[in-house]
């Protein structure tokens, strides 16, 4: 394959209302749409580091994308897909978001050339539907069929959090499970107290209750908690996933491919999780439609049966929210060639 041109469009899209987590208030989502041209074909990607979570910045991503653009201009002739993946890796060592965005665009091109959906390009036995969770927001109803709700807590006192869960649980149907995301803001004693007091609710897991690096404390919490412990910020690479496994610090991996940085890294972490009886969930880093489509295909290719955090499009103030679940609470994986995205950047 020969890459003829890379086109970037930087974006800044406001949230419909500020998204408050325990560590950050998000008012605007910034990133880049990527288009790779190969002859008459185009492949799409999105590079969007998440402020406060990603190890790279928007400027890191910009510089990495510009390095790749320069590299393809200097590379004569065609390159095999593995060689292009290696070139992407060399140009994006300090920006996992740029790497994931470029890989998405490259694999979109490659899948289109073969007439395959991106999910089927990676796995002929990929799933046709993906279960999803929804993100709790006051006044916003659960989509039909969705049976799992993610709730951001940790930005107030423990008593305030418990009261919020009490009110929410009372208002929900009994079949709805809650995933509570603390973004690393509790200490061990607070987390132990919370776990004991949360047992009367239907909690699927408690996500990142302690700081990312506190693996020994996370391991103790996991041993003593009646509620499964999930990690998000603690897993940013294959190496960090192995450290979590060796520490015995998690029941669930919540994986953000934008932060892990590549399709192969995500697949390797999913493999490690399965080998160690750890549940794996693919979740959005609040990307726009191109990034979320990539995650849908990736979750399908990896045959993730856990509800995944992919319903974040309507958080942003834009017309196109991307895939929406059907009455069964699942996203249907697109079957058209590539990502199933057509834009107007090039």
Positions annotated as catalytic residues are: 152, 256
Grouping H, G, I as helix, E, B as strand and the rest as coil, residue 332 is strand
Q: How far is Cα 265 from Cα 100, in angstroms, rounded to an integer?
A: 10
Q: How far, CA to CA in Å, does 219 sit from each of 59, 124, 192, 222, 279?
A: 36, 37, 12, 5, 16
Residue 18 structure tokens: 């500020």
Residue 213 structure tokens: 């690096």
> Which one, of 148, 214, 226, lies nearest residue 181 by Cα?
148
* Neighbour tally for 138: CB within 10 Å: 7
Q: 65 near 8, Cβ under 8 Å?
A: yes
| Residue given tokens 């794996």 in the structure block | 280
> What are residue 248's phi and psi, to 5 degrees?
65, 40
Q: 106 near 43, Cβ under 8 Å?
A: yes
> Which one, of 301, 204, 329, 289, lies nearest residue 254 by Cα?
204
One-character DSSP codes across 254-302: EE-HHHH-SHHHHHHHHHHHHHTT-EEEEB--S--HHHHHHHHHHHHHT
One-character DSSP codes across 58-115: HHHHHHHHHHHHHHHHS--S---HHHHHHHHHHHTTT-HHHHHHHHHHHHHHHHHHHT
CA angle 72, 78, 82 (to 5 degrees): 85
């Amino acid at each position: 394959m020969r890459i003829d041109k890379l086109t970037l469009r930087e974006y800044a899209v406001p949230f419909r209302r500020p998204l408050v987590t325990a560590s950050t208030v998000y008012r605007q989502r910034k990133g880049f749409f990527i288009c790779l041209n190969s002859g008459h074909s185009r492949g799409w990607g999105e590079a969007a580091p998440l402020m406060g979570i990603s190890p790279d910045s928007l400027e890191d991503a910009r510089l990495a994308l510009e390095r790749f653009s320069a590299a393809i201009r200097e590379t004569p002739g065609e390159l095999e897909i593995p060689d292009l993946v290696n070139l992407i890796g060399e140009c994006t060592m300090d920006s996992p978001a740029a790497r994931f965005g470029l890989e998405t665009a490259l694999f979109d091109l490659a899948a289109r050339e073969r007439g395959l959906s991106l999910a089927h390009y990676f796995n002929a036995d990929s799933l046709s539907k993906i279960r999803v969770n929804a993100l709790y927001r006051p006044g916003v109803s659960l989509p039909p069929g969705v049976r799992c709700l993610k709730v951001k807590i940790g930005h107030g006192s423990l008593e305030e959090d418990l009261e919020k869960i009490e009110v929410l649980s009372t208002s929900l149907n009994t079949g709805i499970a809650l995933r509570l995301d603390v973004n690393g803001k509790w200490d061990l004693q607070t987390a132990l107290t919370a776990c004991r007091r949360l047992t009367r609710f239907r909690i699927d897991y408690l996500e990142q209750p302690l700081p990312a690096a506190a693996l020994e404390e996370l391991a103790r919490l996991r041993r003593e908690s009646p509620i499964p412990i999930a990690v998000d910020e603690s897993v940013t690479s294959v190496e960090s996933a192995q450290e979590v496994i060796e520490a015995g610090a998690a029941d669930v991996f919540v994986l953000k491919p934008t932060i892990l940085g590549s399709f192969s890294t995500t697949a390797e972490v999913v493999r490690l999780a399965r080998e160690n009886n750890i549940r794996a969930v693919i979740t959005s880093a609040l990307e726009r439609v191109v990034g979320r489509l990539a995650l849908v295909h990736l979750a399908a290719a990896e045959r993730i049966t856990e509800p995944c955090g992919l319903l974040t499009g309507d958080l942003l103030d834009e017309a196109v929210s991307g895939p929406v679940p059907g009455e069964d609470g699942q996203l249907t994986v697109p079957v058209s060639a590539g990502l199933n995205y057509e834009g107007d950047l090039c």
